[in-house]
Structure 1
Amino acid sequence: MPPFSPDQPHTILIAASAAYDAAALRRMLARHHLKVHAVTRGDEALGVARQGNVVLALLDVALAGSASLELCHRLQKASDRPLPVFLLSTHPSEEERARANEAGAAAYLPMSFPIDDMAEKILLYLHAISPAPVLAGMPTMATLEVNYHTMLAGSPDAILLIQRGSNRILDVNRRTRQLFGMTETELLQTDLLSLCPPVQPGGQPSQNVFAADLEQVMSGEVQLFELEMLHSSGRALACELRMVPLTTQAHRLMHVRIVDVTARKLAAELRDGKNALLEMIARGAPMQETLDKLVRLIEAQLDGGYCTVMLLNPDGVTVQSVAGPSMPPDYMNALNGLPIGPAAGSCGTAMYRKQTVIVSDILNDPLWTPYRNAALHYGLRACWSMPILQDKDKVLGSFAMYYREEREPNDDDRRLIHAATHLAGIAIASTHREEELQRHREHLEELVAARTAELQHAKEEAEHVNEELTTALDNLSMTQEELVRRDKLAALGALVAGVAHELSTPIGNSLTMAGSMSERTAELRHDLESGLRRSVLQAYLDEAAAADEVVLRNLNRAAALVAGFKRIAVDGGDSQRSRFVLGDVVAALLESVQGEVRQRELDLVEDVEHWLEMDSYPGPLTQALHNLIENSLVHGFGGRAHGQGSITLSAHDSGNGEIAITLSDTGAGIPADNLPRIYDPFFTTRRGAGGSGLGLYITHNIVTGVLGGRIEAASTPGQGTSFMVRLPKVAPV
């Protein structure tokens, strides 16, 4: 093989029908500039070889063809350079090795050949690395000799040497003798299978299981497997066996390292058992079933021990056996109803003292005096009991471990009984809570039934009362409608009376003057027939002119009253709705009243957020504000000297979709007795002095009706009056 040159790309071809860890080989060869190409069919392998960059091929014997392994020859011919082929066999044999040599294979290896060793073998073959140098004076593997027995004796693991085929034990170390509790002579006179039970935990004969494992070891598939073995006392040992074949020209041997994993397996079984028990408790499994499973789980952890669970009855004095599947039933039944106390065996005393009680010798312990004969009758010699507590003071029961020989607990025993007691407490407390909940449910059902009956009775009474209320409501509605009708008639009568009262004076004056002039006209006609003097005509004309003035003034007064009456029922039907800026409307209003305010020498103060926008009726709003200003001028300052007082109009955003408009003055104010009547129609304190009593009435109708707001008044006699108008920014439709 020419020296390997890393300057050119090279490929290692893997052709295998079975799974092969090409990725691991690729990682190990990458730093040596070697690529790995894996295929699973022979035609694919030939195609890769024809590309000319394959420097070595790993070929599965299963793909190589018939007995002549012809694919090996075809790969070498397909390549444009010498192509070494390593044949890989799933089941190596001497006969197949000979055929591989005949086919020109560069190497014949098991398919399970370690990847790191395979990488080293490829690199050495391709001269990508050099062999380790032989140092002078240092032994080589070929010349190194080690005393196997000496190496065996110094190992901390249990080691034995057996002969393949017969499985005869040839050599053992001290740790092996300790593991099986046997002497070296005893071990050397037996074979490995004699250290195993006839049947493994899976149900297969130990001989079959060991033979299958040994075959896998010899084929390179596994080196480590599990096997159950036996201590000389008959105690089962869960073991892991690691076996390495040792083949010489004269012997076929097997190096066996044994590790006792019993404790590890027991810990795993305990952990899984705890989880299973907690799942049972969580899904509400019966307490008896849960505690039986707990007892069997703990017994599987013990070396010849038996467990029981006792419950303290609700009377707090006697006990009841609930779990002890491995104990004699008669013994368990005999415990029912026994009292707890300071000398009541292990369980009764533990519950009484609320602490763990260890009795290592039932025969001679005074705590067992009342029950010693029964215990000895069933062969019980030791009992350790731990109370099951819900809290520091409440005892639920006890968990006990029994043995048929005198025995003291070790640390592992104490941890185990503590764990068992804790799990038993969870199961018992959960059952008690569920029973308590069930009692509450039953009581709640009774309460619900009683409450349902009460509610049904109340419902019937309510329906009866509802019928009476419905009848009363119908009568009330009829009465209300009658009262509303009467109120409407009364209001209409008051309005008509007010209108008649207001119109009667100007119309009466006009009628009186018209009647007087009718009489004077008749006299003038009579004087005209008898001869009319100039002085008489002149007197008539003077009287007619005076009469015309009186009639015209009274008719104008009546017309003004009629116009005011028409505004009483004002609504937005004829008003123009629009979006407007409040400051513009207020400015126009104040400009229109500025003359009269100046005439009275009053101060007119404006405090308005000018750019407040409204979607409302500017016309009715202007009328309402004008009426309020007019009310201040007439009633607030009508009897005062000019130049004393002020009127203030302010408007601000309330922040809740409303605008607050306030008109206040420093005038005479409104007496407290008159304040509730200011919005009544025709109510005025200036009757006969120009007041009609309709201004605030009309203003109230505009604010509450058209504009959809509300108006409030506050006044202090002698200090002034204030009207607060609250209007929505968007008037109702």
Structure 2
Amino acid sequence: MEPNNTILVATGTSLDVAALELALATHQYRVESVTSGDHALQVAAGGGVALVLLDTALAGSAALELTGQLTQADANRRIPVLLMSHRPSQEEQQRAARAGADGYFSLPLATTSVVDHVLFALQGQRIGGFDLEVNYHMMAASSPDAVMLIDMDSGHPVDLNHRAEQLLGRNALELLTAPLSALCDQAELNVMMQSVLAGELKVHRIAFRHSSGRPVDCNVRGVRIAKPGRRLFHIRMVDVTGTQRAEALRVGQEQLLEMMARGVPLDDTLHKLVRLVESQSPGVLCSVMLLAADGQHMHCACCPSLPAAYAALLEGLAIGPGVGSCGTAMHRREAVVVSDIENDPLWAPYAEQVREYGLRACWSMPIMQDEHTVLGSFAMYYRTVRHPDADEQRLIGVASHLASIAIERARREVELERHRSHLEELVEARTAELTRAKQHAELTNEELQAALENLSLTQEELVRRDKLAALGSLVAGVAHELNTPIGNSLVTASTLADQTASLSGQIDAGIRRSELDAYLERAREAGDIIQRNLQRAAKLVASFKEIAVDTTDAQRRRFFLDELLQDMLAPLWASLPQPRPNLVLDVVPGLQLDSYPGSLSQALAHLVDNCIVHAFSTAPGGEPTVTITASAQGSDVLLSVADNGAGIAAEHLRRVFDPFFTTRLGAGQSGLGLYITHNIVTGVLAGHITAASTPGCGSTFTIRLPAAAPL
């Protein structure tokens, strides 16, 4: 009997059959394509067909009768049939189910997804959710988050989307055939399901397992899917591994500083530092090298993950311009990044020795006490060729800074201990000088008191100067902005006055009607010019008034942040011209503030307006999107406005909150929007605002506010 290994594709439209055939070949299936229903029946009746992919356009009339005929075409077995539709609908899906189809999905669809449908159906699983009131598979595919439909009775996922595959590093077939115990701790999942059944709406933290074996910590929300006799749950998974890693780095830094303050030995502190950095970047092997007292030779202070034999090779090496990454970094007093050790001249003398240890990349940062004094180096090794990204560059910078603090403190402790060992001798030698020392101390105290008073006066003077400088900048900006409309008005008024005087002289000598009409036309034009410029000046003055943050008129009350954003953004978004960017709100429900909603709305409106005007002024790479997120951070609220637009150049980023700074000068922008936002956030709302941006990848403005504004 001929084996059933043929996938029959019956469609009259274009379908990438070659790609489908190549993909299914890895699963020992061949593909045969036909373009008519009769031909499909003929091939199916000949035997060997494992499954039919049938276009609804070829499936017959409204009853899709060809579906049932194909399932019965082989006298020895029933053939599964999956229907493909270019115009999917709920009604057509129901007809497909009545016709006996084993699955239903919409076209166009990626080849990998078509293969998944085929393999699922061949394993006896129905695709498209015929037994649900909605097509869950289509809904999941359109979700921006990783989602999964779980059947707690069978202990397996029932459906999922591509983002879930990416999150867990497994294809759909692997996930749908894997037990829940292979994907996560089922006890944690059961706790979440019980919470959902109890009507609780909250986020649960569940650790899923990536195909590589590493844990993927996720914030998970669950919803019960109503289906009598079955326990189906829809879950949404958000990866928070990066957030946890950042929190672990913050906690680790605090612990290191505490260890330094308690005088923990340097070896233990450096070991803790190295392990902290290694936990932040998978696959990294760290080392701390110290520069000897002679300023020429290196000492391996801490490298717990590097081979001991390799660490021994580093001991006592002299620094220089071509001594690997660490020796060169200490010599140059600057960071040295070697992405490929085998092909970098800095490592040429040591390439053979390093090769046997499998080390391929090494980035080294000098540990500096000050601008000229080198203490050592902090290095990050990898067993693969790679270049550091921005996060890793910041990480090695933080590590070298913490190492600098620890080393300098340890050296001071050694110096202090040396002095303590000679304390008795010093006491005996200086007993006679106590009286003079006391008098000197009293004199020094008087001098310090005078210096402190002088310092206070100097500080007050600096504050006054800063205020005057800021006022000067503000006045200059106001003058610059108002000069153009006022100057235009003055020139126009002066010209009109000259023309009026000329007309008065012509009246005595007699004036023609054409000359009077010409004068009246010029007068009307002059009036329009003066009116437009004065309106512009009035608009500028109104915007200048917003600069002064005043809480006397601000209404303080308790409010929910998600409701405020909905009420504020709905009319704002509706007023934007088409095509308007997408708006994504990710705000923790029930987040309550005791603050000034009017001022907060004004600040957010300026931020959103800034996104519209600047981020999307040029065509972005993808679909324009503005994302507003908010969450609780202890007693504070963290709120961000992000876009995927053009981004802000590095030289402009530090000036975005300066008054009158704008990259669109002369295009109707005054450069006050972000300055006003900064004043509101730091003034009325008593918060803090920062800006971050990568050119070409968008910008993010982050606001940290106290949940209860100070009185």
| TM-score, normalising length: structure 1 | 0.40
* Structure possessing the higher radius of gyration over alpha carbons: 1
